[in-house]
């Protein structure tokens, strides 16, 4: 099974279009060790021919252009794609907006939870993806599911989804109640365990997670590879940077560092390879020469970058 990280940044990408924070400026200048990144998405293939996308970011056209595996083969029909399905982990804009770029009456399947499917159904703009051509299928929570293309043919990719602590999408929040708690543990945000038919290895993809609880620790124990929420290094990072007023927790993302952070929370859990993904433009680990990047590496973690490949 091949796993390709096609996007490793959080919403807005890096550098974000309107961000003038020091890291975004460094990326625009081409500073060594500060690499640009598109918004979070991975692609998985069990046979090297058909691919399953996990999340469809607004950068999807650029991501396909940068990944030959996701482009039509030279001998393929005039309208074709190796993308057989898209699995959505939540309804955030940076995970579903790319669906609108796949609107050329090209068959593929969409898999998502009941909450995310309801969000797509409630917004008529997603009807540009005719359900008769692009079927929408329910990801049953905690059950193993074979991912199939629009024609029902198995891709060889197996997914087990599970709810993780998170929050509802920003645009679904009740704007009239700023003190409300928009957290959710019931499937608005999910993680996925990805494997292949007959395979023994698996990768966990959890680009959004608000905290690490006992259930998640138990689920990840023994994992061969984990791609985990690396949005912020410290909870108050955006406030300290002067670019926002929200903490990581308020946005539904656990910090990397600190006693309640993901590095500490998973330190004693047996995991083969640990990789942070979905990294915000204020996170100092984006600078490969920073003390924070060195601390992450010393703790046994890697920082995802666009184009990184894994093989299980």
Mean pLDDT over each residue of the chain, to the nearest integer: 93
Instruction: Note the pTM of the prediction, 2 decimals.
Output: 0.94
Mean pLDDT, range 236-253, rounded to an integer: 89
Q: List pLDDT tens digits, range 62-86.
A: 999 999 999 999 999 999 999 999 9
Above pLDDT 90, what percent of the chain?
Answer: 85
How high is the pLDDT of residue 178?
52
**In the prediction, which pLDDT does 199 show?**
79
Q: For 153-174, what is each residue's pLDDT tens digit?
A: 999 999 999 999 876 666 676 5
Under the banding of pLDDT at 50, 70 and 90, the label for residue 244 is confident
Average pLDDT over residues 195-200: 87
| pLDDT level of residue 190 (50, 70, 90 thresholds) | very high
pLDDT of residue 166: 76
Q: What is the CA radius of gyration of the chain?
A: 18
Percent of residues, the chain, with pLDDT higher than 70: 93
pLDDT above 60 (res 289) = yes
pLDDT at 93: 94
For the segment 108-128, what is each residue's pLDDT rounded down to a tens digit? 999 999 999 999 999 999 999
Q: What is the average per-residue pLDDT within 185-193? A: 83
Integer Cα distance of 108 and 106 in angstroms = 7
Say what the pLDDT of residue 44 is. Answer: 98
> What band does 2 get if pLDDT is binned at 50, 70 and 90?
very high
């Amino acid at each position: 099974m091949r796993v390709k990280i096609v996007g490793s940044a959080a919403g807005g990408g890096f550098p974000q279009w309107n961000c003038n924070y020091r890291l975004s400026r460094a990326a625009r200048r081409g500073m060594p060790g500060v690499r640009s990144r598109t918004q979070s998405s991975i692609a998985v293939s069990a046979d090297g021919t058909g691919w399953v996308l996990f999340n469809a970011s607004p950068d999807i056209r650029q991501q396909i252009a940068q990944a030959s595996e996701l482009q039509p083969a030279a001998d393929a029909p005039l309208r074709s794609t190796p993308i057989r399905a898209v699995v959505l982990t939540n309804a955030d804009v940076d995970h579903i907006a790319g669906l609108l770029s796949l609107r050329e009456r090209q068959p593929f399947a969409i898999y998502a939870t009941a909450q995310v499917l309801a969000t797509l159904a409630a917004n008529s703009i997603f009807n540009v993806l005719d359900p008769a051509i692009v079927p929408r299928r329910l990801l049953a929570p905690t059950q193993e599911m074979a991912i199939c293309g629009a024609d029902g043919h198995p891709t060889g990719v197996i997914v087990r989804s599970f709810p993780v602590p998170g929050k509802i999408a920003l645009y679904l929040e009740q704007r009239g109640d700023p003190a409300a708690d928009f957290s959710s543990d019931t499937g608005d945000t999910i993680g996925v365990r990805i494997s292949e038919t007959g395979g023994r290895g698996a990768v966990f993809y959890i680009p959004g997670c608000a905290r690490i609880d006992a259930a998640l620790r138990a689920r990840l124990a023994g994992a061969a590879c984990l791609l985990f929420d690396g949005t912020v290094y410290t909870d108050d990072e955006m406030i300290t940077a002067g670019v926002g007023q929200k903490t990581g927790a308020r946005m539904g993302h656990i910090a990397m560092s600190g006693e309640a952070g993901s590095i500490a929370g998973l330190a004693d859990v047996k995991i083969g390879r640990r990789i942070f993904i979905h990294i915000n433009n204020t996170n100092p680990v984006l600078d490969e020469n920073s003390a924070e990047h060195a601390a992450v590496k010393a703790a046994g973690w890697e920082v995802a970058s666009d184009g990184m490949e894994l093989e299980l």
